[in-house]
Amino acid sequence: MLRGRQQPLLQVQQKTSTHYTADALRAIIACSPLHDAAQNKAMAAALAPAENEAIARCAFDISSVPGLRERLDPKTATKDAIATKKRRDGRGLDGWRACHVTTNDDTTSATIGASRACARARIGAPAQDGPRLMIEVRRGSLEPDDRWCRRLTTLLEDCWAHGTALDRGILDDGLARMVEVIVVCEADDGAIEDCVVMAASAAIALLKHTPLRLHASALTCAVTEGGDVLADPSVDEANGCARVTVVVGVDIARGTDVNEPAAAAQLLKVCVSGAMPAAALDRCVALAAARATTIQWP
């Protein structure tokens, strides 16, 4: 009789490779004579749904988790710098990172921190009634963005739009020549605008019979809602702030006077993104003129 009742169980066991519900398994266990009450109880307990367990709560400092504060509040780096008057890399609010402008054959590069741009300039023949200065900005290994490139191209074109910094007499002397500048942005840590301007300026200066009169030195600043100015901000420090890029011209022969940078430098371009107090904008212009005295042009 026992052998006769084992057959349905064996058939069920052969089918357990398929999916059964918990209730079905409980029914199978309950009618099985091969399991005693203790085994049935243990199996039923294993199949019972787990009750909600109370989770102990504790307080912890979110600063102990790297990057958590910045993720929750993108303005963390800026707020900390303003509160302590010191940034995470040790600079003060008015401090800027060193700019290195170098040349390699006909290619120039400008590096500020982790930001880097390279440029090449050449003399070409313009199209009929075409511009005498053509600038192209490419993003290199960065993610392509035509609007981003166009914004930087406009910044460069405006720097040399008038004869103050670029000798238009050389370009418009009847020899039908054009200056073509190609700038490649390789990395950005908040100072790519400055690198682009200074790399392009150094590339034009390398041309034979260069039309360049003034080197273009740039400084980008971040301005908070309260009017605090952070010179040469990193990407994290610029979050949630208005940005302004100030370009000043430096005489390629004489340079600027360290003692009176504002008197020697000529304002070429101010590119503002966002609202800011007039006093903060004046401060940015003064910092840009001071920064121009520290650039070592090749």
Q: Could you tell me the sign of the dihedral formed by the alpha carbons of 181, 185, 186, 192, in that order?
A: positive
Q: Which of 35-44, 193-202, 228-237 has the lowest mean pLDDT?
A: 35-44
The pLDDT of residue 15:
44
280-297 pLDDT, tens per residue? 999 999 999 999 988 999
- β-pairing, 107-112 with 115-124? antiparallel
The pLDDT of residue 111:
97
Environment class of 129 (CB within 10 Å of its CB; exposed 0-12, middle 13-18, buried 19+): exposed
Q: Is residue 199 part of a domain?
A: yes
Q: What is the pTM of this model?
A: 0.72
Which residue is associated with the tokens 């090749």? 298
Contacts of residues 70-73 at CB distance under 8 Å and 24 or more positions apart, as own/partner, are: 70/236
Q: Which of 3-12, 158-167, 231-240 has the lowest mean pLDDT?
A: 3-12
Q: Read off the pLDDT of each residue in 161-181 and give the average, rounded to a whole number.
A: 76
Which whole-number Å values give the CA distances from 16 to 9, 48, 180, in the listed order? Answer: 11, 19, 76
- Residue 23 scores a pLDDT above 80: no
Q: Is residue 168 part of a domain?
A: yes
User: CB–CB of 232/112 below 8 Å?
Assistant: yes
Q: Which domain does 154 fall in, by range?
A: 98-292
Q: Is residue 203 part of a domain?
A: yes
Residue 76 exposure: Cα atoms within 13 Å on the Cβ side: 12
Per DSSP, the residues of 236-285 read: TTTTTSEEEEEEEEEETTTB--SS-HHHH-EEEEEEEES---HHHHHHHH
Q: Which of 13-17, 94-98, 100-104, 122-126 has the lowest mean pLDDT?
A: 13-17
Q: Is residue 162 part of a domain?
A: yes
Q: Is residue 45 part of a domain?
A: no
User: CB–CB of 112/194 below 8 Å?
Assistant: yes
User: CB–CB of 214/253 below 8 Å?
Assistant: no
Q: Is residue 141 part of a domain?
A: yes
Query: From CA 284, how far away is CA 231, in angstroms rounded?
Result: 8
- Residue 137 scores a pLDDT above 70: yes
Query: From CA 192, how far away is CA 140, in angstroms rounded?
Result: 12
Number of folded domains in the chain? 1
CATH of the domain at 186: 3.30.230.70
User: CB–CB of 289/257 below 8 Å?
Assistant: no
- Residue 145 scores a pLDDT above 70: yes
215-267 pLDDT, tens per residue? 999 999 999 988 999 999 998 888 888 999 999 998 877 654 445 554 457 88
75-119 pLDDT, tens per residue? 777 888 888 889 888 899 999 999 999 999 999 999 999 999 999
Amino acid at 254: R
The pLDDT of residue 96:
95
User: CB–CB of 106/120 below 8 Å?
Assistant: yes
Q: Is residue 59 part of a domain?
A: no
| Distance between start and end Cα atoms, the chain | 103
Most confident residue range from 40-44, 55-59, 94-98: 94-98
Q: Is residue 262 part of a domain?
A: yes
